[in-house]
């Protein structure tokens, strides 16, 4: 039920924003990622050199408000992360933020957001049955909340507004409640490399 409420909430946000931006180009993005479990913003080049916990993100990125040098932006995303021996994490989240245009081609942004994370254990999860034997605990998945903050840069391949751009985003997110007694909040740092493109209506 919580999942349903969350999806409805995200849908409402999407509709509200979509209404405001219906006269603009629709920007979508796809990105690949590597994530590390570590304290927020504490991971540096290791996100490039490994270890690799691969993932990807599909997103819709509308511009909410636009000025000559500034933009208020949003990112509605669905993502997947595979963390070996730990979990498959599928999340739906919304991010809102501010983008500054250094030049017509080079922009930087900061965003905060949150959403829902569906955690599927990456190793066998077993449950004791009434006969005292363990069996696969099929169907037991974990509903988690996630909050995040991100810093990113993007480079536009042409100077026309809303055109294709490549972006690099450093994102820290917290998954909770993870393990009550040891790791109640599991932080991840993620580096995403992606491309955004527009689809004309």
Q: How far is the CB of 170 from other proteins (least distance, A)?
A: 16
Q: What are phi and psi of 14, to 5 degrees?
A: -60, -45
Residue 71 to residue 48: CA distance in whole angstroms:
29
Q: Which residues contact 8 (CB under 8 A, 6 or more apart)?
A: none
**155 C-beta neighbours (distance < 10 Å), count:** 12
187 binds other proteins (CB under 8 A): yes
Q: Give the count of residues interacting with other proteins (CB under 8 A).
A: 43
Q: Which DSSP category does 25 fall into?
A: P
Residue 174 to residue 126: CA distance in whole angstroms:
26
Residue of 7, 8, 51, 104 that binds other proteins (CB under 8 A): 51
> Judged by CB under 8 A, which stretch of 4-12, 100-108, 152-160, 183-191 contacts other proteins?
183-191
Instruction: Identify which of residues 6 and 191 has a Cβ nearer to other proteins in the complex.
Output: 191
> Judged by CB under 8 A, which stretch of 1-9, 47-55, 107-115, 148-156 contacts other proteins?
47-55
- C-alpha distances out from residue 14 to 63, 69, 151, Å: 12, 25, 22
Residue 71 to residue 40: CA distance in whole angstroms:
26
Site string for other proteins, 104-143 (x = CB under 8 A): -----------------x-xxxxxx---x-x-xx--x-x-
Q: How far is the CB of 111 from other proteins (least distance, A)?
A: 21
> Judged by CB under 8 A, which stretch of 8-16, 66-74, 89-97, 172-180 contacts other proteins?
172-180
Instruction: Identify which of residues 75 and 87 has a Cβ nearer to other proteins in the complex.
Output: 87
Query: Do the beta carbons of residue 153 and residue 163 sit within 8 Å?
Result: no
**Assigned token pair, 74:** 């949003």
Query: Do the beta carbons of residue 66 and residue 87 sit within 8 Å?
Result: no
> Judged by CB under 8 A, which stretch of 16-24, 57-65, 66-74, 178-186 contacts other proteins?
178-186
Query: Do the beta carbons of residue 156 and residue 165 sit within 8 Å?
Result: yes
4 binds other proteins (CB under 8 A): no
Q: Which of residues 147-166 bind other proteins (CB under 8 A)?
A: none
Query: Do the beta carbons of residue 167 and residue 191 sit within 8 Å?
Result: no
- Which parts of this chain interact with other proteins (CB under 8 A)? 30-32, 34, 36-39, 50-54, 56, 82-86, 121, 123-128, 132, 134, 136-137, 140, 142, 178-183, 186-187, 193-195
């Amino acid at each position: 039920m919580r999942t349903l409420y969350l999806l409805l909430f995200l849908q409402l946000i999407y509709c509200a924003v979509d209404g405001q931006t219906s006269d603009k180009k629709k920007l979508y993005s796809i990105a690949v990622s590597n994530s590390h479990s570590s304290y927020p913003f504490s991971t540096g080049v290791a996100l490039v050199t490994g270890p690799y916990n691969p993932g990807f993100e599909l997103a819709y990125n509308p511009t909410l408000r636009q000025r000559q040098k500034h933009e208020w932006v949003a990112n509605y995303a669905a993502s997947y992360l595979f963390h070996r021996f730990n979990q498959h994490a599928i999340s739906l989240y919304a991010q809102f933020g501010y983008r500054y245009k250094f030049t017509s081609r080079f922009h930087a942004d900061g965003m905060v957001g949150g959403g829902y994370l569906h955690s599927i254990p990456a190793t066998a999860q077993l449950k004791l049955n009434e006969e005292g034997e363990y069996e696969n605990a099929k169907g037991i998945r974990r509903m988690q909340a996630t909050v995040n903050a991100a810093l990113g840069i993007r480079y536009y391949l042409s100077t026309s507004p809303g055109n294709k751009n490549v972006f690099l985003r450093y994102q820290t997110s917290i998954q909770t409640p993870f393990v009550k007694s040891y790791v109640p909040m599991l932080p991840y740092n993620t580096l995403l490399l992606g491309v955004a493109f527009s689809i004309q209506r």
